[in-house]
Structures are given as C-alpha cells and as structure tokens.
Amino acid sequence: MVRKFCVGGNWKMNGDKATITEICKNLSSGLDSNAEVVVGVPAPYLQFARTLLPASIGVAGQNCYKVAKGAFTGEISPAMLKDIGADWVIIGHSERRTIFKETDDLIAEKVTHALAEGLKVIACIGETLEEREAGQTETVVFRQTKALAGAIKDWTNVVIAYEPVWAIGTGKTATPEQAQEVHQSLRKWISENVSGSVAESVRIQYGGSVTAANCRELASKPDIDGFLVGGASLKPEFKDIVNARQ
Ligand SMILES: O=C(CO)COP(=O)(O)O
C-alpha cells in the first residue's frame, strides 16, 4: 500500500500578519503534488492564512477542546475550527502535554470529539530524553498510542506524529535509523492491537528538528510517511521538506 507523503508545518505561537503573508506566498507554488501539506496556524490567524493559501494546502488548529461549546473561557471547539475553514487539528503535542499538563485521557477525549465533528487529526506522541535513556521509549509511545486507539473508531482521518521530545527545537534530530525503529514498532503495535489494514494505511510523521538538510534521508525510510515541522516550517526551506520525496 502506498501511503501519501504528508507534511505538516506547526507554526506554534509564532507569526504575525506580515510574516504569515510571506510564508503563504512562498507556499503558493513549487510544492510536490504527490505530497499532502497542512499548516498548523495560531488560532487568531487561521482564517487569515486560509484566505492566503491555495486550497490544496490544509489548515490546522494547534489545539481544540473536547466539547462543541459552552463555558470554557479561552478554549476553541472543533466546530469553530471547521466553521472558519480549518480542516485539521493537531492534538496532544508535547508542548500541550508538558506545559499545559494535558493527559493521555484528555487527549483521547479531544481526538474522539474532533473526529466526530469531521476534522482530520494529527495526533502527537513521543518520549522524553529521560524516558529514552531509561529504555522506556516503546513503553511510553505504546501507552500514548493505546490511549489514542481507544478514542478512534475510524482511522481514515488520523495521522500520527512521532515527535521525540528531546528532538523538538533542540537541533538534535533523531537519526533516520532511530526514527525508523520507532515507526516500525508503532506500526507493529497497531497491527497487533488495532488491525493489519490500519497499520498498513496510517501515516506516521516524524517530528523534531527536521530541516531541508536532513529530511531526504529520513524520508527514504519505509515507515516514515512525512514530517511535522516546527522551526523550519516558518522558513522558505519548508518547501524543500515538503518536496523531500521528489
Ligand atoms: O514540535 C515540532 C513540530 O510539532 C518540532 O519542532 P522543531 O521542528 O522546531 O524541532
């Protein structure tokens, strides 16, 4: 089965009207048509970016809440994201897990609700350096994936992003072999605990210090189906990362 290469740019809490206009202009041509591209935009600029980007590029919220509406000051619902033209949402990013104390259970509830509302979901998992050094990588990513699996009935609209926390924003990219090893064991876990066909079809992105310089070697690995890019997604080199398989 050929899994469509899928690259997400996670702008995090960066950008203003001027820089977002530049980024969107840069993304308006020259992208591999065989790659699916999504950008995670800060909430106040989602609609703005949507109007500037070509329709072929998806727009994602970087977070959402687990219910449609109500007294939840500061939160954003999947229905609102859909209403302003976003079709994706990133859920469970390590910054949400660590800084904002989101648990596996809350993330699972958000994923269930976002999918029920018709959004596509990039669900993030990944171990810390401490966990990796303690030999806990599989235990951690399997636990996180199990929580997700319990929340997902239909995997069609789900992409998993494996982002080792020690590689995020540090310049320490996982080697292609390290990333492939985890992606392969995740696919095996999914095959044994969800189904063979989901394991075959689900895209697993790698995230953590991906750049134009290291993306091609990572993209050549059989179980790496794309990237979730932070810092480099704000720069012109994001285009080279989208085109890593060209
Ligand atoms: O967190 C990330 C994407 O979600 C990765 O960030 P960097 O690419 O800046 O390491």
Kindly give the number of the ligand 1 atom that is closest to the alpha carbon of 40. 4
> For ligand 1, atom 3, which residue shows the shortest CA distance?
230
Q: Does any ligand 1 atom lie closer than 6 A to the CB of residue 228?
A: yes
Return the best residue to mutate from 163, 204, 237 for the ligand 1 pocket (most ligand atoms within 8 A of CB): 163
Q: Quote the ligand 1 centre to 1 CA distance (angstroms).
A: 28
Cut 0.95: pTM above it: yes
Which segments in the chain show pLDDT lower than 50? none
Could you tell me the distance, in angstroms and rounded to a whole number, from the CA of residue 211 to the centre of ligand 1? 10
Q: What ipTM was assigned to the predicted interfaces of this complex?
A: 0.99
Beta strand 57-61 pairing with 88-91: parallel
pLDDT at 217: 98
113 flagged as catalytic: no
Residues paired with residue 206 on neighbouring β-strands, in sequence order? 162, 227
The pLDDT score that the predictor gives to residue 80 is 98
Q: Is 198 close to ligand 1, i.e. is its CB under 6 Å away?
A: no
> What is the DSSP track for 1-31?
-PPPPEEEEE--S---HHHHHHHHHHTTS--
Report the C-alpha dihedral over residues 156, 65, 132, 153, rounded to 10 degrees.
Answer: -30
Q: What pLDDT does 196 receive?
A: 98
Tell me the pLDDT tens digit for each residue of 227-236: 999 999 999 9
| CB of 126 closer than 6 angstroms to any ligand 1 atom | no
Nearest to 184 by CA among 216, 245, 138: 138
168 lines ligand 1 (CB under 6 A): yes
